[in-house]
Amino acid sequence: MNWILNNTNENEAVDTLSKELKISPILSSMLVKRQIRTYDQAKDFFRPNYESLHDPFLMKDMGRATNRLNKAIQDKESIMVFGDYDVDGTSSVALITLYLESLGLKILKYIPDRTKEGYGVSMKAIDLAISKKLKLIIALDCGIKAHNQVDYAKKNKIDFIICDHHNPDEKLPNALAILNPKRKDCEYPFKELCGCGVGFKLIQALDRDLTHNSDLVNYLDLVALAIAADVVPVIGENRIMAFLGLQIINSNPRIGIHSILKSNQKKEYIISDLMFFVAPRINAAGRIKHAELALQLLISSNEEHANLLAKEIESLNSERRLIEKQMTSEAVLQVEEDKECNSIVVYSSSWNKGVVGIVASRLVDKFYKPSVVFCESLNGTLTASARSIKGVDLYKIIKSCDDLVEQYGGHKYAAGLTIKKENIKLFKKRFDDAVSEMQSNQLVEKEILIESKINFDEITPKFFRILKQFEPFGPGNKAPLFLTENLKLKGKPYELGKEKEHIKMNLKQGISDQFSSIGFWLANKFQSIENKSNFSAVYSIEENNWKDRTTIQLNLKDFK
């Protein structure tokens, strides 16, 4: 691990904010690093409010989309709402369905089968819309590359409204309206919305058009869940929507979300609870069975029904874990036979299509190399999920191999793609060559970005109270990691976990300052400091709730 201290040289701005806000220089430097330099900017940051969201009509094609929906409302049309099978997609479908049904519209919900239909707008869904004589499809969290599908729908007199956030091609599908802030011709001020966020802008615009004055804040729990699961930057509008959505989850949670969270009882849920507890369970439905289960859970208004669905989804998540463990073990064996490459491309015909993305992430964690995990798909093709590391833009690399790729889409750090089976060896070489070129003259190693050096006596209740107000954390506003030096062990540490892989210990600095700490997956590193008179540690600061007692605990990330 390479420790990098994120210092700022804007000392004057740090000092000014520290005095104006009456906070420690460490906290004011955190604000400055987040481009917050004035009292008013700090106020907006610490108190996100709904009124600060951008005008939805700034998004290209928004007027076209709301005009078409107004016509559908007047004509009492039935509408197909189509979404991807991941958390962002299912949350988007739930959001649009619940809102449009509140207007009295009939909605045909459609989420494709991951194995049988694959990613994106499916022809099967359009055929169903044709058979039902529908005239409008809203596609959520997908559709930006659905050229053929949109053309097929248009021939059958079906309009398309696409709400997507993935990178578009130079040419856009011939849809009635395409809502995507990443469009080159879209001047919407915030470009990092998730799919559900784009869907929310649509209902925000439609509600204003109708002067319906709905309390749209109550839909932001679904947007917060999608923001957490899709790992989009938690800045700007995403920060506002995540903040307000978490307030809903903590005060008046949707029945479906509550049915999952109640098995992880806490005083207050934060974005990491959505990311690491709720999202994997919602995703498990689509990975192992069908995402329709997750959708039904998210729109459920019946507590008994929601509890039954949550129980089934919990069972699917346990099954997913077993499959993931087996696939990861097999993938690691393949990697260890081919260690010379700068990237990882692995394949097995027996692997589960729904789990390849998780396995790719596990390989990145273990080997810190861009990783592509292929499995069997439809019509003799292979499909893959890819995950990347700092400095390697997956989307650009896959685009450079596009003569070997049937279809692809995604972001800088995560992507999906399909290739012909006979092209896998050539793709593996081309992908690795492109990674090597992009990494040229770079030192490839895991980095820990440290917010600040801090002494234990600076971690006061007031410091922690203000630190919590920096939440919700995520990309663009990462949970801060602190470095403390000259530490000693107090007492004997002890190991936790089935395989004693975690370690818990009391750390002391100076004569009296000490904190309890826990290091997940760090037990094997403990021997590096076991007999040392002092050492340094990098950690996040968190609350530990145990038997109605709340204390500050350090969550160790590394020590040396």
Output the tens digit of pLDDT for each of the chain's 560 residues. 789 998 888 889 999 999 999 999 999 999 999 999 999 999 999 999 999 999 999 999 999 999 999 999 999 999 999 999 999 999 999 999 999 999 999 999 999 998 888 788 999 999 999 999 999 999 999 999 999 999 999 999 999 999 999 989 889 999 999 999 999 999 999 999 999 999 999 999 999 988 777 789 999 999 999 999 988 999 999 999 999 999 999 999 999 999 999 888 788 899 999 999 999 999 999 989 999 999 999 999 999 999 999 999 999 999 999 999 999 999 999 998 877 788 999 999 999 988 999 999 999 988 999 999 999 987 789 999 999 988 888 989 998 888 999 888 877 888 889 999 999 999 999 999 999 888 775 656 788 999 999 999 999 999 999 999 999 998 889 999 999 999 998 888 888 888 888 999 999 998 778 899 999 988 888 777 776 778 999 999 998 877 777 889 999 999 88
Residues 64 and 61: their CA atoms lie apart, in Å, by: 5
CA distances from 70 to 56, 60, 61, 206 (A): 16, 18, 14, 8
Q: In the listed set 438, 473, 505, which residue is the last one of a domain according to the structure?
A: 438
pLDDT attached to residue 493 = 86
Give domain status of residue 132, yes or no.
Answer: yes
Give domain status of residue 315, yes or no.
Answer: no
- Regarding whether 62 and 201 lie in a shared domain, the answer is yes
Give domain status of residue 307, yes or no.
Answer: no
CA distances from 77 to 42, 82, 104, 240, 267 (A): 46, 16, 10, 33, 44
Give domain status of residue 310, yes or no.
Answer: no
pTM score: 0.89
- Regarding whether 110 and 179 lie in a shared domain, the answer is yes
Token couple for 318: 């346990």
- 465 neighbors 524 (Cβ within 8 angstroms): no
- Answer whether the bond into residue 56 is a cis peptide, omega within 30°: no
| Structural domain that includes position 531 | 2-6+448-559
- State the amino acid at position 228 in one-letter form: A
Q: In the listed set 391, 412, 438, which residue is the last one of a domain according to the structure?
A: 438
pLDDT attached to residue 100 = 96
pLDDT attached to residue 116 = 85
Q: Which residues contact 400 (CB under 8 A, 6 or more apart)?
A: 430, 434
Which CATH number fits the domain that encloses residue 402? 3.10.310.30
Token couple for 151: 């053309």
Give domain status of residue 25, yes or no.
Answer: no
Which CATH number fits the domain that encloses residue 498? 2.40.50.460
Residues 113 and 295: their CA atoms lie apart, in Å, by: 13
- Regarding whether 96 and 183 lie in a shared domain, the answer is yes
- Regarding whether 240 and 161 lie in a shared domain, the answer is yes
- Regarding whether 216 and 84 lie in a shared domain, the answer is yes
- Regarding whether 197 and 73 lie in a shared domain, the answer is yes
- Regarding whether 87 and 61 lie in a shared domain, the answer is yes
Give domain status of residue 322, yes or no.
Answer: no
pLDDT attached to residue 533 = 74
Total number of domains constituting the chain: 3
- Regarding whether 198 and 123 lie in a shared domain, the answer is yes
Q: In the listed set 411, 438, 465, which residue is the last one of a domain according to the structure?
A: 438
- Regarding whether 475 and 409 lie in a shared domain, the answer is no
- 218 neighbors 248 (Cβ within 8 angstroms): yes
- Regarding whether 517 and 416 lie in a shared domain, the answer is no
Which CATH number fits the domain that encloses residue 200? 3.90.1640.30
Q: Which residues contact 440 (CB under 8 A, 6 or more apart)?
A: none
- Regarding whether 532 and 497 lie in a shared domain, the answer is yes
- Regarding whether 425 and 472 lie in a shared domain, the answer is no
